[in-house]
Amino acid sequence: MTTAVVAPAVSSDQALRIAQADGILAYGDLTRFRVEITLEVDGWHVKHFIQQRNGSRIAGGGPHYVIDATTGAIVSKTYYQ
């Protein structure tokens, strides 16, 4: 039995725009962060990381969000500063 994969109503681009609209209020310019977006069971996880010069990332550093993949609502957010 195969299970059809259903695309979320909210795309990753939309989830990123939602997260950045909120994050910009707390952080101002978000361009210094590297963004990681993954679709998980509870929604889109949008995480902003500070990039180190050697290419590794520092834990935390920027806002982390869970965006509902059906409604686009911010389910949770954590600010690391």
pTM score, whole prediction: 0.82
Residue 44 pLDDT: 97
Q: Where exactly are the structural domains of the chain?
A: 12-78
pLDDT of residue 78: 94
Q: Nearest 5°: phi and psi at 80?
A: -110, 120
Q: pLDDT value at position 61?
A: 77
pLDDT, one tens digit per residue, over 8-31 is: 899 999 999 999 999 999 999 999
Q: In CATH terms, is domain 12-78 a member of 1.10.3470?
A: no
State pLDDT tens for residues 27-45.
999 998 989 999 999 999 9
Distance CA 70, CA 81 (A): 29
- For 5-52, the DSSP string reads PPPPSS-HHHHHHHHHHHHHHHHS--TTEEEEEEEETTEEEEEEEEEP
> How many of the other CB atoms lie within 10 Å of CB of 11?
14
